[in-house]
Structure 1
C-alpha cells in the first residue's frame, strides 16, 4: 500500500482527541504499509512503482489542477490492479473515485481497499470536517462488510481495527477505551492470518505503548469506567517493535522512532540514541517522515546529542 497509514501515535491524551491508531498508520501522510497488495509483482514488472510499506496513503496529488476521471473496469482483478497502482502513486482522490463505483461489491478485497481509501481521504487536510466524519464511519462500515464476506481476510481485520479506533474520536473516551480490546483483537487476528505484515505488528506495539504511557489520572478514569481497563508495558511494546523490524528491517520511519522512544522509557539511553539516529536518517519522502525527523531530532537534542 502507499499510505504510510500507516499514523501518528503520540500521547494517549492526544489520541483521545485524534485517534491512537492514526499513524497507525500508519503512515498517515502518504506511504504504503500493507503487505496485502495483490498483483504487486505484476505491477512491478510493468515498471509501476508501488510502495508496499505505508499505512496512510495521503498523497500530494493536486486534484483540481490535474482532474481526471478513472473509470472502473468490469473485471474485479483489473479494478484491484488499478486501485493498487493509484494507491502506490498516492492519488487518494482518484483512488476513492474508482473504488466508490464498487461500494456495493461483494468482494472483500475490493471492500477493504475502499475502506482504506475512505479513511485516507478523511486524513487529507483539505477534506472538510463534516466529510471527514462521514468518511471515517464509511471506512469502518466497508471494512466490517469485508469481514462479513470473508472473515479470513487479514487486511480487512487490520483496516477495521484502524477505522474503529478513529470512529472513537467522535464517540468519546468511554467508547474509545471500550473498543481498545476489540481493536487489539483484530490486529492480532490480522497477524495470525499474515505473520509477515510488519505494519500490523507495529500497530500492536503502538497499542501497547499507548496504554503503557497512559497517565495515572487517565488510568483512574478508565478504571472507573471498566472493571478491567486495557493495560500494557513498555517491555511488551518493545517486543512488537523489534518483531516488526525483524520481519521487514527499516520498513517504516515511525517504527524506528518508537524503538528509540521505548528504549528511552526503559532507561536504555544508548540504544535509544541509536534508534533515534536511524529514525532521523530515514529518507523523508512523506509528511509523516518529516514529522518523525523533527521529533527524533528534538529528542536527541534534549539528550544532549549533536544533530
Structure 2
C-alpha cells in the first residue's frame, strides 16, 4: 500500500453510524528504506533529476516550488514516489503529489489518489467541510479507476471503503443499500488477489458487523429492504483466519477480531489466545494503541491479570 494512512474498522454495526477507520492502513513498519529512482524534468531550470532520494527531491521542490512537472515523467516513477510517501505516512505530501494527476487515465494512479484523499479526509485536523469534499472525491476517483480497469483489485477494495464513507452523509437507507455493493467489491478484490490479507480482513469485518447488528437495526434494515444484509460470526471467523493464514500477524486489529469472534462463539480458550496476541502486538501506530487498549480491557473482563 502507499500514500498516507488507511483506516478502517470497529464493527460494521457501528459503521451504520460512524465512518470506517483505517484498517487498510497497515503499520508503517513496511516503509521503504533508502533511495527511490525518480526521473523527472523540471521546467523552470531545465534540470533533469534521474536518481535522487525523496529528501533531495523535496528540498529541491521547496526551493523551486513554482516549477512545473514535465509531461515526460513516467507513471511508474510517480507510483514509486506515491508508495514511498504512503509507507512513510506522509499523507498531505502524497495527496499534493497525486493532485497533479487528477485527470489521469491510469487506474493505478487513480486508486492511489482515492486512497490518499480518504486518508487526508480522516486526519483529525481536517475541517468537516473539507473532509466531506475529500470523501466524495475519493469515491469518484476509485469509481473512475474501476471504469478504466475492472480487473484492478486495489480499485475494488478502495471503492468499497470509500463508498462506505459516503454513506455517512446520505442516511441509513443509502448506507444499508451500499453495504451490498461494498461486499461485492471486497469479494471481487479477493477474487482478483487472493493474497491480499487486508481485503480478506475487511470482508471479515463486514460479516462481523452484520452478525453483531442490534435487533432494532435489523428491524430497520428489514423495513427498508426485502432481503437485508446478514451474516454470522462463523462466516466472519473464516475471513479473519484466512487473513492470518495469508499474512501471519499482519495487522493488530485482525488479531483483536479473532479474539472477539471466538468470544462471540463461546470459545474462551481461543479468545484468550488471540486477545493476548493483540495486546502484545508491537505498537507502531495510533490504531495499534487502540487495539492494545481494547484487547487489555477485554482480557480484564475475562479475568486475566494484565
TM-score (structure 1 length as normaliser): 0.85
Q: Is the 8 A contact 2:79 2:109 kept in 1?
A: yes
Paired position in structure 1 for 2:274: 275
Paired position in structure 1 for 2:17: 17
CA, structure 1 residues 11+151, in 2 after alignment: closer, same or farther (shift >3 Å)? closer
CA distance, structure 1, for counterparts of residue 170 and residue 225 of structure 2: 16
State the shift of 1:5 in Å: 2.1
- Structure 2: gaps spanning 5 or more residues: 37-60
Paired position in structure 1 for 2:47: none
Q: Is the 8 A contact 2:154 2:189 kept in 1?
A: yes
Paired position in structure 2 for 1:159: 158
Paired position in structure 2 for 1:213: 212
State the shift of 1:18 in Å: 1.5
State the shift of 1:306 in Å: 1.0
Paired position in structure 2 for 1:7: 8
Q: Is the 8 A contact 1:72 1:99 kept in 2?
A: no
What is the SS of the residue equivalent to 2:257? helix
1:271-303 residue CA offsets vs partner (Å, 9 max, x unmatched)? 001000000011110000000000000000111
CA distance, structure 2, for counterparts of residue 16 and residue 208 of structure 1: 13
Paired position in structure 2 for 1:51: none
Where does 1:1-307 land on structure 2 (aligned, <5 Å)? 1=1, 5-10=6-11, 12=13, 14-19=14-19, 21-23=20-22, 25-27=23-25, 31=27, 46=34, 74-307=73-306
TM-score (structure 2 length as normaliser): 0.85
Larger Rg: 2
CA, structure 1 residues 206+72, in 2 after alignment: closer, same or farther (shift >3 Å)? farther
Q: Is the 8 A contact 2:256 2:275 kept in 1?
A: yes
Please, what is the CA RMSD of the aligned residues? 2.1
CA, structure 1 residues 72+18, in 2 after alignment: closer, same or farther (shift >3 Å)? farther
Q: Is the 8 A contact 1:32 1:88 kept in 2?
A: yes
- Structure 1: gaps spanning 5 or more residues: 35-39, 49-66
